[in-house]
Structure 1
Amino acid sequence: EYGVGSGIVWDSEAASEYHECLAKAQILLTPAPPEFQLLETMRWHPRKGYFLLEQHLRRLRHSADYFGFALDEAHIRALLAQVAAPHPLRVRLLLSRDGTARVEHTPLPPSPPLWRVALAPEPIDPNHVFLYHKTTHRAVYERARASCPHCDDVILWNPQGEITESTLANVVVQLQGKLYTPPIRCGLLGGVYREYLLARGTITERTLTKEELARADAIYLINSVRGWMRARLE
């Protein structure tokens, strides 16, 4: 049983009061948020350690605050410090809502010399909150990848026809000798390597359309694990 109501005054109209009650009851029709974990994927080197570790932890803190996750940073740093291997690793840090943290790692896989990419068949919803936080809830990305199984990755775009990101990385486009990446407001995750390159002035934020992507001098995918990946639009 769930009760709703509205304040009735002398000039109230029955129809508008009824619609107000329906609006208040919409919460009953809203799907429960999915169970998910916060996620950071990092590159570890036996001599250099973690690449951009502080930026990864800062992003994790921001998402933990946003979603109300418990976070013991000292414990997380201790877990990360236990990682060791004679070769570079791809390290995944997962954080549950109750603060439980887990670290997984695998050898850093080789990267193809040229990534074959395609545009997603449909736009993303830029109001979807999980686009702006790195989590294990990746339904948007999984649908896009499934639509183009012959490609190495898929590039997403919003209802305005603006490029956002790929399912694995941020996107950089070279136009007339300059390197541009879409602004976060287009609907994308702020990658830590993207942030690093913006701070150094290597890349610049600019809205990029699908048409500009098609005629770009060069297309790159970037993330903190693999760095720069040259891509070709299929």
Structure 2
Amino acid sequence: MTTLWVNGRIVAPGESGVSALDHGLTVGDGIFETALVDDGRPFALTRHLRRLERSAALVGMSTPTETEIRAAIEETLAAAAATSPVTHGRLRITVTSGVGPLGSDRGDAAPSLIVGVVPTGAWPAEVRAVTVPWTRNERSAVAGAKTTSYAENVVALAEAHRRDAHEALLANTRGELCEGTGSNVVVVLDGELLTPPLSSGCLAGITRELFLEWAGQEGLAVVEKDLPFDVLAEAEGVLLTSSTRGVQPLAAIDGRPLERTEAGEKARELYDRRAAEGIDP
């Protein structure tokens, strides 16, 4: 069951906690973070809150204080635990610009804060992805921000599900590999680990950030470089990274089976081992 905290109180799913004029609803003017919940605690929460601040700055939006957000998270997790402990789940932190006019202009209302926690199961043993024809705009005004304007991702992911896959991968407007709808991408080519740079327009994923940091510390070479989108057709292996996935090898892309490569297995093992060392790295 989903546990929700909306603007100062726990609410039942389906109960109204924000105005029908909230700009997060009317024009998608909001930002968010999704963190893994492990044994009732959010993983890498400090990094997620730092990225929330960066997203707010990119879109020019005010947010509640970090103290207020952390208190809301604690209250939500406590309410969830009172019903059933969340041993493995998803924490969602959403901030909108609050009540605004029926148009793109913002009002001067206080931001809305919504926190949700839901238990989740494990990913399937074999995860498949497909490529889709739509592109990320690396020159967008909100490139690099994790915004609630997610219609593009909804459409792309629905196409992936229609094709019996779990994720959709997108190019940017230059025809370069960018990211998935909710993941960053690492390819294995000639035994080398390669990933698109942030200049590709991909989101600065927290798992991507941790993986690159830890790989650098342990001498596992991961090269950030611009990659043509069709690299996916020749890669020996492809890995997805996200907060709920960790580092996840793909079993197939566009129906083409992929290998469990040595480089990919080293990447997955390194991330799993380092992530187990502490809840807030």
1:160 paired to 2:160? no
1:212 paired to 2:218? no
* 135-144 or 165-174, which deviates more: 135-144
Structure 1: 5+ residue runs without aligned partners? 1-32
Aligned partners of 1:62 and 1:77: how far apart in 2?
A: 17
Given that 1:115 and 1:152 are in contact with CA atoms closer than 8 Å, whether structure 2 keeps it comes out as: yes
Structure 2: 5+ residue runs without aligned partners? 1-25, 98-109, 255-281
SS for the counterpart of 2:136 is: coil
1:53 paired to 2:39? no
SS for the counterpart of 1:113 is: coil
SS for the counterpart of 1:110 is: coil
Aligned partners of 2:203 and 2:194: how far apart in 1?
A: 16
1:119 alignment partner, one of 131, 145, 166: 131
Aligned partners of 2:36 and 2:87: how far apart in 1?
A: 11
Amino acid of the structure 1 residue aligned with 2:242: N
Q: Size of the alignment, in residue pairs?
A: 201
Matches within 5 A, 1:1-234: 34-46=27-39, 49-66=41-58, 67-82=60-75, 83=77, 84=81, 85-97=85-97, 98-148=110-160, 149-150=162-163, 151-200=165-214, 201=216, 202=220, 203-231=222-250, 232-234=252-254
Amino acid of the structure 2 residue aligned with 1:187: G
Q: TM-score, normalised by structure 2?
A: 0.67
Aligned partners of 1:224 and 1:86: how far apart in 2?
A: 16
Given that 1:121 and 1:147 are in contact with CA atoms closer than 8 Å, whether structure 2 keeps it comes out as: no
Given that 1:72 and 1:99 are in contact with CA atoms closer than 8 Å, whether structure 2 keeps it comes out as: no
Q: TM-score, normalised by structure 1?
A: 0.79
Amino acid of the structure 2 residue aligned with 1:171: V
Amino acid of the structure 1 residue aligned with 2:170: L
Give the percent of matched residue pairs that are identical in Structure 1 and Structure 2: 30
SS for the counterpart of 1:220 is: strand
For residues 32-56 of structure 1, what are the alpha-carbon distances to aligned partners after superposition, in whole Å with 9 as ceiling and x for unaligned?
x933321100011126x22111110
Aligned partners of 1:159 and 1:34: how far apart in 2?
A: 24
C-alpha RMSD over aligned residues = 1.9
The alpha-carbon deviation at position 94 of structure 1 amounts to 0.8
Aligned partners of 1:129 and 1:229: how far apart in 2?
A: 30
**Greater Cα radius of gyration, structure 1 or 2:** 1
Aligned partners of 2:212 and 2:135: how far apart in 1?
A: 26
Given that 1:93 and 1:103 are in contact with CA atoms closer than 8 Å, whether structure 2 keeps it comes out as: yes
The alpha-carbon deviation at position 86 of structure 1 amounts to 4.6
The alpha-carbon deviation at position 217 of structure 1 amounts to 1.3
Q: Which runs of 4+ in 1 moved over 6 A?
A: none
